Amino acid sequence: MTSNDTAPPAAASGTFTIGGDLTVNRLGFGTMQLTGPGVWGDPADRSAAIAVLRRAVELGVNLIDTADAYGPFVTDALIREALHPYADGVAIATKVGFTRQGPHRWTPVGRPEYLRQQTELNLRHLGVDRIDLLQLHRIDPKVPLEDQIGELAALQSEGKVRHIGLSEVTVDEVVAARAIAPIVSVQNLFNLTSRSASELLDYSAAEGIAFIPWFPLATGALSGEGSPLAKLAAAHGSTPAQLALAWLLHRSPVMLPIPGTSSVVHLEENVDAALIHLSPEEFEALDSLS
């Protein structure tokens, strides 16, 4: 990875073209942490949340990930207030398929009429005519997959959705969904300490599908004082979180991490991870951690 003095730091993460026509810098921003506790309600400091979103775009972040379930609809409203009208090249990815009953409570609902309703609300709350990337937040086991993906495909054919993605899926589920409609991205839990989605990542790389790891900064005990990760970070002059992000970016060219935060300072630290170059030995040292 290379950068120059005039390019924003997120540009150093390189680019990926989602679905063949939506090019973004690989280091994005996830908005879930901009809500209240339990991903419920408004943030404690709305002006700070607005500042984080605006600063993210200033730093070159042009993939903003949200969901109707965040708040619910809190992050959509924040994004619109902070960034609308959206600058050229800024892509908004959102998700549908969950209903919320309170803090920390998530229930998948994949009925076609519900997915359509939430998509229409996303369009309205974000202030757009078309959603760049609409992801099925979870597959609802109570509803045929053909009905769920089919409804997203119908919305796509109507011009309301540019691309379709999935979240928390297996390779078999992606294959089944791709038989119904083009799938351009997957969003699964993946980080230094949680790599159960490695098979899906390898499949995504082989198929040219974007892999968006959620919870990318989880390092757990790996970052404790005196830990191997802490020692590597100290030797590199970086933080453990920055190395965790750098490892993700080096792990695969289809990887699009979306670290979230409610702090401008932490945001700037996260984005600076794009500037980190890992030697093959450093990457292997990180890769060997678990």
> Could you say which of 70, 86, 114, 203 is catalytic?
70
Which of these, 33, 108, 75, lies nearest to 267 by C-alpha position? 33
Q: Token pair for residue 145? A: 């997959």
Element (H, E) at 283: helix 280-287
Distance, CA of 21 to CA of 159 (rounded, Å): 15
- Residue pair 183/165 in contact (Cβ under 8 Å)? The answer is yes
- In DSSP terms, which residues pair with 211 in a beta bridge? 186, 255
- The H helix count followed by the E strand count for the chain is 10, 11
Q: Token pair for residue 289? A: 């951690």
Q: Is 203 a catalytic residue?
A: no
Could you identify the residue written with the tokens 């979103």?
53
Q: Token pair for residue 270? A: 């996260």
Q: Token pair for residue 125? A: 């709350």
| Displacement of CA 70 from its chain's centroid (Å) | 13
Active centre residues (catalytic) = 70
